[in-house]
A and B are shown apart, each in its own frame.
Chain A
Amino acid sequence: MKMEEMSLLGLDNTKLESIAHEIYSDLVEDACLGLCFEVHRAVKQGYFFLDETDIESMKDFEIVDQPGVDIFGEVYNQWKNKECVCPNCSRSIAASRFAPHLEKCLGMGRNSSRIANRRIASSNNVNKSESDQEDNDDLNDNDWSYGSEKRAKKRKSDKNPNSPRRSKSLKHKNGELGSNVNTDTFKYNYNSGIYYETLGPEELRSLLTTHCGVISEHTKRMCTRSLRCPQHTDEQRRTVRVFLLGPSALTLPEGDAVVENGSYETSDGPVLVSRLQWDGSSDISPSDSGSSKASTNNSETKKPKKKKSSLTVNSVTGGVGYGEERGGGFSNLQGGFVPSNRKKKNKIPTAPPSSTYDEMN
């Protein structure tokens, strides 16, 4: 709000001094006020006269500096070794574990219900799978696929198959689970997977008919997603079927005509699993190299001893020139590679083609 230009230059010293003094006294007054407020607050809060406590009381609150004791003089972990008696189960529990134990014991914590349900489900599975497997085979075959497909579909929408959230959705289906005897026989765990070891051949076949079934390396469980589950390749599915059902039992629905070779022994199973357990991402080599190499491989693949090398070579060249080459030992391997050619179709071989290839051989 300068109405005219003001300048201090015109002023004489005394005026300047007076201005300076005014500014100075303002500042001093500010300082005094600040102090007053501080003191007043200290008085009202009660800490203004603290430094005047008598020496005796001062000694009471002196800092303690002994070993094994904190600065207040308390022993810091004397409650660790104490034991408490649980009022629920009357067991003697260590003090530091008492709270979590109570949670589980009273069934009131966050995890206690989850764990209890899991335990019940698994114990049910264990009991029922042993007794019912033989009796309810037929029943199981009919109803099982429907039930599990429903489950499989629901599971697809879950974010992570291994997260604890799974148990929540399954809890709501507890009614289903309980009433469906079938589900129990397949040892359905909350961690969604099936152990192939406990299943009979019939069940395995029916399971593999409708489900991916690829065995996970980490958990040794079979994948229960659909036949087109994106997590596993067709190659893996073939491998699993060969492994579990034997090479002659590649009679799964849907799939291209793939050769089966009777000459393969069932002992191939584990070998195949280990050899072919790759992502099936190997690219198909150009037909030229494929056909030339393939012919040389034919003789090799027939001999069981050289299977390992032949398998690896086949894997590289197998895809192309499928119709031209002689079947021989190619059968399973090529069958596995066909899908990489024609991606959307399924990998399972059927019986008829094998006969033609036998003739060629």
Chain B
Amino acid sequence: MSKESQLRALVNQKLIEMGERERLKELLRARLIECGWKDQLKAHCKDVIREKDSEHVTVEDLVAEITPKGRALVPDSVKKELLQRIRAFLAQHATL
């Protein structure tokens, strides 16, 4: 529905304007490194690269391989923390 999408766009815009998106991003990155998600995924990368010709790996290949696995590997605690923060932000800035 266009209204919803419009709403979503507005929310995103607000997130960016207030710098909250950057903060959330940094938070997520820190948490993922802490919990070893990054190293796990890097190891997976190595396998992928070794399978394919290591000289001719493209970004698209990597993305295609890595992203679904990455999404799945995010630990629950991290997911919950982030969702909590997002909800808090939405509640705080309910009136757009």
Residues of chain A whose beta carbon lies under 8 Å from any beta carbon of chain B? 2, 5-9, 11, 15-17, 19-25, 27-37, 39-40, 43, 48-49
Contacts and interface: CB of A to CB of B under 8 A. Distances in A.
A23 B67 contact: no
B59 A37 contact: yes
A16 B90 contact: yes
B62 interface: yes
A48 B47 CA distance: 12
A22 B8 contact: yes
A290 to B, nearest CB: 82
Contact of B4 (A15, A28, A34): A15
Contact of A8 (B7, B12, B41): B7
Contact of A36 (B6, B21, B59, B94): B59
19 contacts: A7-B94, A7-B96, A8-B94, A19-B7, A23-B11, A23-B24, A24-B82, A24-B83, A29-B71, A31-B28, A31-B29, A31-B32, A32-B70, A33-B67, A35-B42, A36-B45, A36-B62, A39-B62, A40-B59
Given A28-B74, A35-B38, A43-B57, A16 B87 contact: yes
B90 to A, nearest CB: 6
A39 B67 contact: no
B90 A20 contact: yes
A40 B83 CA distance: 30
Nearest to B7: A6
B67 A2 contact: no
A43 B54 CA distance: 7
B55 to A, nearest CB: 8
Interface string B50-69: 00001001110011001100
Contacts of B86: 20, 23-24
A61 B57 CA distance: 30
Contact of A20 (B10, B62, B83): B83
B94 to A, nearest CB: 4
Contacts of B83: 20-21, 24
B87 A20 contact: yes
Contacts of B59: 36-37, 40
A29 B67 contact: yes
Given A31-B29, A36-B63, A23 B4 contact: no
Given A27-B28, A48-B49, A19 B90 contact: yes
B62 to A, nearest CB: 4
A5 B96 CA distance: 7
B95 interface: yes
Nearest to A41: B59
Contact of A31 (B70, B94, B95, B96): B70
A6 B6 contact: yes
B53 to A, nearest CB: 11
Contacts of A11: 7
From A7, A15, A16, A20, name the one whose CB has the most chain B CB atoms within 10 angstroms: A20
Contact of A35 (B54, B66, B87): B66
B94 A9 contact: yes
B1 to A, nearest CB: 10
A304 to B, nearest CB: 92
Interface string B34-48: 000010011001100
A39 B25 contact: no
B45 to A, nearest CB: 5
